[in-house]
């Protein structure tokens, strides 16, 4: 697979690098398609152009690229059935020209990426590529000379020279493969650029966007969800620990109705806003996890990997939904594509311990409804606002006291351009706890997953726009957004602790009652 550096009109620094197998480390993509006006803080990229394979789509409106098309990631398994290679194609010239901004972004996100090393490796790679092309040109010149008539001695001399050049070229290409892989790994550690309005710093620097309600004033000492759950016979952590280990649980009795009711109510409300419901696979390929910006393996990973396979358990439905249209060109008329996906989620929660994470607050397995949007680049900020507003409306309708935070730069993670978190008041825990987040990942994920759309208008005439075949406009990368509609365990915490009564019962919020069989209250069991 070719690795093409997407640059300006300058003839300098056009790289054509050989195929390099990826490592298992996380891969980061950056910004927008050639010649398309978008956020000026982004990277300009184009994708590798050879050995294209298109994923099947269930939608008749999805257009798949021809096998000769450029600008698409190759994800075909190799002939031996091994892991499919994938790569980012990075505009190193843009990074070089904007190294101060990139360096500041790396610092603001507390990333360990090194722009100095990336640019050093880029220069070495560029120079080595020129040497490869020089030797290849000499070898071709020798081959052309041998086509004519000549003395046998001269032919023999050319044969020996050609063999020497062939060996020299093979050695140089091997060096180039290694250097390219090192360059790719280092460059892909650079995080996504950050929205200019994001607060700079750690989690404590996050800015309050909205505060709704106030803490409930109890006429009695409130209990936490663990005590309520025990007294109301709603869950069993002890049996689950024996069966599965710590941080697993059984839901029982009305807690089961609450889980099903919360999910059905959430799906019902979100579908009213035009979201298509999905259930997803809960095992995915490690490469898809990487392309979404997560680390499937490593000491600090939150992902459960399956031994002797290239598969992982999902930590969120964001991953399989993001992969739904992998390696496709979507019809513009389809956008935005809005999904709400139900899945179970699995997280190692490495290092999580203490009273702040006890009970249902931080567990290894839970149910969740996740919203996900594929949209045009110019619309992603609008849909980010829509997602967080939908979350706020859902939590307000349940009568929760919560705050929405514009998360600071160090808490964004690799993919997010901007992220809003919602934290609800949990009286028994005596603190706010995160119950959802909404992230705009711009084209970070779509560039890794090869998800584009074909604009319906005529192609532009910009000098920086890649020529399209015929009269078709060149495809553009979609933007992706994700948001938690309902993470069941933490919602159960909120409901039990906020709606508890002095007699030990718990009132069911009115919007949920039709979804839990008309149940109004969870009462202590008699006897």
Is 404 among the annotated ligand-binding positions? no
**What are the residues facing 231 on neighbouring strands?**
none
Q: How far is CA 68 from CA 54, 407, 466, in A?
A: 11, 42, 15
Is 363 among the annotated ligand-binding positions? yes
**What are the residues facing 250 on neighbouring strands?**
236
Is 349 among the annotated ligand-binding positions? yes
Q: Which of 372, 400, 333 minimizes the C-alpha distance to 482?
A: 372
Angular region, 205: left φ>0, alpha ψ -120 to 50, beta rest: alpha
Query: Residue 60 class from Cβ within 10 Å (0-12 exposed, 13-18 middle, 19+ buried)?
Result: exposed
The Cα 125–Cα 128 span in angstroms is 5
Is 365 among the annotated ligand-binding positions? yes
The Cα 210–Cα 405 span in angstroms is 7
Q: Which of 377, 325, 344 minimizes the C-alpha distance to 481?
A: 377
CB atoms within 10 A of CB 138: 16
Is 382 among the annotated ligand-binding positions? no
Is 347 among the annotated ligand-binding positions? yes
Is 437 among the annotated ligand-binding positions? yes
Query: Residue 37 class from Cβ within 10 Å (0-12 exposed, 13-18 middle, 19+ buried)?
Result: exposed
Is 435 among the annotated ligand-binding positions? yes
Q: Please state the φ and ψ torsions of residue 204, each to the nearest 5 degrees.
A: -65, -15
What does the block give as tokens for 240? Answer: 């689950």
Q: Binding site residues for L-serine, as ranges?
A: 316, 347, 370, 482
Binding residues: 316, 347-349, 363-366, 370, 434-437, 482
* Bind-site residues for ATP: 347-349, 363-366, 434-437
């Amino acid at each position: 697979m070719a690795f093409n550096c997407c640059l300006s009109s300058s003839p300098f620094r056009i790289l054509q690098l050989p195929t390099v197998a990826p490592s298992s480390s996380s891969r980061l993509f950056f910004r927008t398609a050639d010649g398309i006006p978008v956020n000026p803080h982004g990277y300009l990229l184009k994708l590798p152009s050879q050995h294209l394979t298109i994923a099947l789509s269930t939608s008749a409106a999805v257009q798949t690229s021809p096998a000769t098309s450029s600008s698409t990631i190759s994800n075909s398994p190799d002939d031996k059935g091994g892991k499919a290679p994938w790569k980012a194609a990075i505009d190193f010239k843009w990074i070089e020209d904007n190294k101060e901004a990139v360096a500041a972004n790396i610092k603001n996100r507390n990333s360990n990426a090194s722009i100095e090393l990336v640019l050093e490796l880029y220069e070495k790679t560029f120079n080595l590529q020129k040497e490869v092309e020089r030797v290849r040109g000499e070898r071709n010149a020798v081959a052309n000379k041998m086509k004519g008539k000549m003395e046998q001695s001269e032919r023999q001399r050319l044969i020996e020279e050609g063999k020497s050049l062939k060996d020299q070229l093979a050695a140089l290409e091997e060096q180039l493969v290694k250097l390219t892989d090192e360059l790719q790994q280092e460059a892909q550690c650079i995080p996504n650029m950050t929205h200019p309005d994001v607060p700079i710093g750690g989690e404590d620097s996050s800015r309050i966007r909205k505060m709704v309600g106030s803490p409930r004033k109890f006429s009695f000492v409130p209990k936490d969800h663990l005590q309520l759950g025990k007294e109301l016979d709603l869950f069993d952590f002890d049996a689950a620990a024996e069966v599965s280990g710590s941080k697993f649980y059984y839901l029982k009795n009305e807690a089961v109705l609450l889980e099903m009711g919360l999910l059905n109510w959430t799906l019902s409300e979100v579908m009213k806003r035009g979201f298509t419901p999905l259930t997803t696979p809960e095992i995915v390929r490690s490469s898809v996890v990487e392309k979404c910006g997560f680390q499937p393996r490593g000491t600090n990973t939150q992902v459960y990997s399956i031994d002797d396979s290239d598969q992982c358990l999902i930590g969120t439905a964001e991953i399989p939904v993001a992969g739904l249209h992998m390696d496709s060109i979507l019809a513009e008329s389809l956008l935005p594509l809005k999904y709400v996906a139900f899945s179970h989620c699995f997280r190692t929660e490495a290092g999580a311990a203490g009273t702040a994470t006890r009970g249902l607050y931080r567990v290894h397995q839970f149910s969740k409804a996740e919203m996900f949007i594929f949209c045009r680049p110019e619309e992603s900020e609008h849909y980010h606002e829509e997602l967080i507003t939908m979350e706020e409306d859902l939590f307000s309708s349940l009568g929760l006291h919560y705050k929405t935070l514009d998360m600071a730069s160090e808490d964004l993670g690799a993919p997010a351009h901007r992220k809003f978190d919602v934290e609800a008041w949990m009286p028994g825990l005596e603190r706010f706890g995160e119950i959802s987040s909404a992230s705009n990942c711009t084209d970070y994920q779509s560039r890794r997953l090869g998800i584009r759309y074909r604009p319906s208008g005529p192609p532009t005439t910009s000098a920086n726009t890649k020529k399209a075949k015929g009269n078709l406009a060149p495809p553009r990368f979609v933007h992706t957004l994700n948001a938690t509609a309902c993470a069941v365990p933490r919602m159960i915490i909120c409901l039990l602790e906020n709606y508890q009564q002095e007699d030990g019962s718990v009132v069911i919020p009115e919007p949920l009652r039709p979804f839990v069989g008309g149940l109004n209250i969870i009462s202590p069991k008699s006897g």
